[in-house]
Structure 1
Amino acid sequence: MDGPQEFRPTHVVPGDGLPTWAAPDPSRPTARLDPLLPVRLDLTSGDWAHVVCSNGWSAWVDGRLLVALPHHPPGTVAPLGATADPRPLLAQLERALASYRRLVDELADGRIDLETFRTHSRGLRVGAVLDGPAAWLLDLDHGRWYHCDGTRLQTYATVDPPPAEEGAG
């Protein structure tokens, strides 16, 4: 199994999530993958796809529903601007992770019970995949994954479809 530093996503889960199976057999369902989760396609069998997540967990999915990603997002020649600065999103991710860590510590130390933990952690979601100088960061406020090369953010995948063109329809 690959270590975390070797994970390179090839696809993301569609915006409404994706059911998984322990084997390419619809009678053996397991968990559901979160929307826009980066995964690496491991192998295929017909319409079935075996995917690996950044934490090493793997499962079978309906491969027809995976969203393929380019190997490297296309670059831009625009200088780093306030909207492309990765630091605000990194700070937001750090705050969410710190909140979760605090709750885990409180639960482990017996200062809160499991129901309180579940209540206070509800709504906390963080997504980050780091691979050397590259990072894929989930911004739930804007419903999208970004690719970061250390200097700028570029939209990598989004929950919302593109807006309709004016005059179309």
Structure 2
Amino acid sequence: MTTPGFRPTHVIPQDGLPAWESPDPSRPTVPLDALLPVQLVDRLGDWGRVLCANGWSAWVDGRLLVPVPQAPPAATSPLARSADPRPLLARVEEALARYRSAAEELAAGQLDGESFRSRTQGQRIGVVVDGESLWLYDGEHERWVYCDGTRLSTFAAEGDPAAAKPEQAHKAPEPTRAVREAAADGHEPTRLVTFDEDDRSDV
């Protein structure tokens, strides 16, 4: 039986999706079936609370939800902050500039190896360009995003979803958990999802 007023906003990825009773990885519940229509009703950082047609709700990794197709935004309509590629492009350019500056100082003998490692520790930059298609690593949210020139959509996410911490809202991002694990020679597996996913949360 469908709940009155139920309007799906997303579907579950084709491999299904783990679910939790609350935004807490220690409280798992029944996983959601592949391609199940759901309505995203709440967000908490990476977490998303979804409502199913029968009225049952659960928390999932909101980064991995596949949005129901919608008409593209009108030219005069601003993109949601999370879908606008320009802020992430600027952060990637800044990170690359910092790395290049450190590399140039190292090559010129102005930095020793230990200082170079210290200056570049925690940086994680990823860019793949193929014609109009662009893939960027978003270290702040531990995900790869796909860009078609106009908007970003989640391509792959790593790690458990995390709740946003208000006290860190205006701080520079610290090295991600994935970066810290990489430093210990252990990468967490990356979960791939379809490139047309779109995280529309306003982060």
Instruction: Give me the TM-score of the superposition, normalised by structure 1.
Output: 0.49
More strand by share: 1
Instruction: Give me the TM-score of the superposition, normalised by structure 2.
Output: 0.41
